[in-house]
Amino acid sequence: MNDSIRICLVGCSRSGTTIMQREMARRYRLLALPETAYFLGALATPRDRALRLHRLQRMSTACASGVGRFRKAVELLGYWPARIGMARLVGALSSRQRAAVEWSRWMDAEARRAGWVGWIEKTPRHFRHLDLIQGITPTPHVLFVVRGGRDVVASIVDRAMRYPERFGGQDVDHAVDLWNDAVRVAAQESRRAGVICVRFEDFIADPYRMIGVVGARFGLGAPTAPEWLPSDAPDPFVRRPEQEWLAGAAQPIELPENKWLKVLSPEQRAYADERLDFASYRRILFTL
């Protein structure tokens, strides 16, 4: 029987979800997999299937090495069939639902192998694929971390400026559309049993209390108190070296720098304010 704790972390705040994922992972002994993008992949074309195999390779290598060294593609053919069997691998490449099931089972096994009690996986755009995630058995818990729209827009634009080779196309329109889509889904999903929505700002104000509330709602018990965390506790994160934007996961818990005035021009701020869907944000049923 599979008794692993499964949590999918959904967020309108990239840095916010990363920080909360770290704290949930440390205090409940969960394997943390940031931004795998696995649940987002399509299977419509041979290219889509090749991309999914590539994602499997990246994450299997990261878990095996702890730091994310890449293996040669040919090693993939020996890695996955030995772990889930060729028939299940072929099945996972023929159906997104079966792929999601196999991915979850693999994360269960990796968590057990590493001595964790479960896993917490983060992809900011999970809100677009909740039907897929909620169709897995046992169904993962879903945790929305929602940050204010202005801060999210400024953070996304700032990241695009810092890493243009990867995020250069993510302008104000992209950031506003992403936040609007996410809060509209959060407003609807917050009324569903098994879904929790928290404000990132509330988490930052009192992280231990918020983590305890979330854990109680998910039936996880009491979290490890900050003073009880050993100084040599293992890092629960599995990240790849190219994920430079996740460096904040190791920083102290504090409200990130306000980039609204620093990054955006007055014209961009006025434009974003006009387009941000604050009405949907106010309809979200937050846990606290």
How much is the CA Rg of the chain, to the nearest whole Å?
19
In tens, the pLDDT along 106-141 reads 889 888 888 888 999 887 778 988 988 988 989 999
Structure-model confidence comparison of residues 173 and 31, the more confident one: 173
Q: What is the DSSP string of 77-108?
A: HHHHHHHH-HHHHHHHTT-HHHHHHHHHHHHH
| CATH superfamily of domain region 5-36+118-283 | P-loop containing nucleotide triphosphate hydrolases (3.40.50.300)
Q: In terms of C-beta distances under 8 Å and separation of at least 24 residues, what long-range contacts does 208-214 make, across chains too? A: 208/27, 210/288, 211/20, 211/23, 211/24, 211/27, 213/287, 213/288, 214/24, 214/143, 214/287
Domain ranges, ordered by start, for the chain: 5-36+118-283
In tens, the pLDDT along 240-279 reads 444 554 555 455 677 677 899 999 999 999 999 999 999 9
- Phi, psi of 96, rounded to the nearest 5 degrees: -65, -35
For residue 174, give both structure tokens: 């992209």
pLDDT above 80: residue 66: no
In tens, the pLDDT along 21-31 reads 888 988 898 98
In tens, the pLDDT along 178-232 reads 999 999 999 999 999 889 999 999 998 998 899 999 999 998 988 887 766 655 5
pTM reported for the whole predicted model? 0.82
- Phi, psi of 44, rounded to the nearest 5 degrees: -75, -30
Q: What is the DSSP letter of 47?
A: H
Q: What is the mean pLDDT of residues 53-81?
A: 58
Burial 64-91 (b: 16+ CB within 10 A, else e): eeeebeeeeeeebeebbeeebeeebbeb
| Cβ-contact 194, 139 below 8 angstroms | yes
Tokens 């941000």 map to which residue?
A: 276
